[in-house]
Amino acid sequence: MTSTFFLIALGFVIGLGGWALFLWAVRSGQFDDTEAPKYRMLDDDDEVQHKPKKAKSGKAEK
């Protein structure tokens, strides 16, 4: 009988812990935007063009 009460209490504590983690995730914004990550993965990062670096010469510029 004691083990039954222990298991019920343990299940209650684990359930409250899961609920607290869920509330933390909602409040911290983990579920705010569920659509953007699937589109962000398709973005092409090659669109950014970098300027070519000038070759260093041995002469000082004036």
pLDDT at position 43 is: 78
pLDDT at position 16 is: 98
Has this prediction a pTM greater than 0.75? Answer: no
Greater model confidence, 56 or 23: 23
pLDDT tens track for 10-45: 999 999 999 999 999 999 988 888 788 788 888 776
Q: With bands split at pLDDT 50, 70 and 90, how would you rate the model's confidence at 49?
A: low
For 31, residues 6+ apart whose C-beta sits below 8 A from its C-beta are 25
